[in-house]
Amino acid sequence: MTQLPTSTKKKLGLVIDLDTCVGCHACVISCKGWNTENYGAPLSDQDAYGADPTGTFLNRVHSYSVQPLATSAKPHPAAQTIHFPKSCLHCEDAPCVTVCPTGASYKREEDGIVLVNEKDCIGCGLCAWACPYGARELDQDEGVMKKCTLCVDRIYNENLPEEDREPACVRTCPAGARHFGDFADPDSHVSRLSAERGGIDLMPEQGTKPVNQYLPPRPKDDLPEFDVLAPYLEPVAENPGGFIGWLDKALDKIPGKSA
């Protein structure tokens, strides 16, 4: 049913730490791997080894340059590079669900995960139009809409060892920049992280109420603005004696300019 549930028992989602992400794309690759071999249609590639390769991905890492504004204290602040992983935010008010004409898109009442029933999807693409985040991609081989499932086939999978029962992207992240949990529980790991670090909604003005939270980069260290080499370049001796003293005097006697 493409009407949204009035509330969900759990709000499963991710915390993505923009301070910690190193932009290695390991989450992109593990996501592509898991979701090609498991739930639903595989994530296809077109012309994978040719001149113009494209493919379906559920998670992509952008990189941004952010230029802080100049202040009187810091007239030339350094720009920052910030890596930015982006996947479905499992919005509470998901616009992609309500536009679906067939009921293929739905949001689960039990845990809030937004999924696509691929047997009902006609591939009209309207849900991708409605998503402001670019979280949905129409698979070119299968003609059905693909999106992040929050690894619904891992997190409840009792055939996997306990430590593997989290989304592939979270499991693989070598920097620990991704966290998975229940935002409906105020004491959960993700809720506390988000509260402590001031987690933010992407495009709040779109009114989607995203579940996934992004932790903003921490303020950068301030280097004091002075010449760090200066102390080492001062003259070691003001009135040199010995060989250096003789050389100094001898060179001064040669006509020409000295410093």
Partner 1 sequence: MHPAPSVIIFTTLSGLGFGLLTFLGLGLPDVTGMTAFWFFVIGYVLAVGGLMASTFHLGHPERAWKAFSQWRSSWLSREGICAVAALLVMALFGAGLVFFSAVWQPLGYLGAALSLGTVFTTSMIYAQMKTVPRWHMPWTPAKFLTLSLAGGALLAGQITLAVILLVLAGAITLATWIIGDGAFARSGTDMETATGLGRIGTVSAFEPPHTGTNYLLREFVHVVGRKHSLKLRLIAGLLAFVLPVLILLLLPFSHALALVAILSHVAGVATARWLFFAEAEHVVGLYYGKR
Query: Interaction with partner 1 in 89-118: which residues (CB under 8 A)?
Result: 95, 97-104
Binding mask 206-245 for partner 1 (x = CB under 8 A): xx------x-xx----------------------------
Q: 183 with 211: CB under 8 angstroms?
A: yes
CB of 84 to partner 1, least distance (A): 6
Q: 5 with 151: CB under 8 angstroms?
A: no
Q: How many CA atoms lie within 13 A of 36 on its CB side?
A: 14
Q: Which is nearer to partner 1, 155 or 194 (CB)?
A: 194
Segment near partner 1 (CB under 8 A), from 128-136, 147-155, 161-169, 228-236? 128-136
195 binds partner 1 (CB under 8 A): no
Which contiguous run of DSSP H or E holds residue 190?
helix 189-197
Nearest to 62 by CA among 7, 147, 135, 154: 135
Segment near partner 1 (CB under 8 A), from 137-145, 152-160, 165-173, 179-187? 137-145
74 binds partner 1 (CB under 8 A): no
Query: What does the angle CA 201 – CA 203 – CA 204 come to, to the nearest 5 degrees?
Result: 60
148 binds partner 1 (CB under 8 A): no
Residues in CB range of 14: below 8 A, 6 or more apart = 87, 150, 167, 169, 170, 178, 179, 180, 190, 212, 213
Which residue type, as a one-letter code, is found at position 241?
G
Determine which residue in the list 29, 39, 109, 132 makes contact with partner 1, applying CB under 8 A: 132
CB of 132 to partner 1, least distance (A): 5
Q: What span, in angstroms and rounded, lies between the C-alpha atoms of 153 and 42?
A: 14
Binding mask 151-170 for partner 1 (x = CB under 8 A): --------------------
CB of 74 to partner 1, least distance (A): 11
Nearest to 204 by CA among 91, 102, 125: 91
CB of 48 to partner 1, least distance (A): 10
60 binds partner 1 (CB under 8 A): yes
- The two structure tokens encoding residue 169: 């992207």
126 binds partner 1 (CB under 8 A): yes
24 binds partner 1 (CB under 8 A): no
Determine which residue in the list 144, 168, 169, 190 makes contact with partner 1, applying CB under 8 A: 144
Burial grade of 193 (CB within 10 A; 0-12, 13-18, 19 or more): middle
Q: Which is nearer to partner 1, 198 or 245 (CB)?
A: 198
Q: What span, in angstroms and rounded, lies between the C-alpha atoms of 183 and 106?
A: 19
Determine which residue in the list 26, 29, 38, 55 makes contact with partner 1, applying CB under 8 A: 55
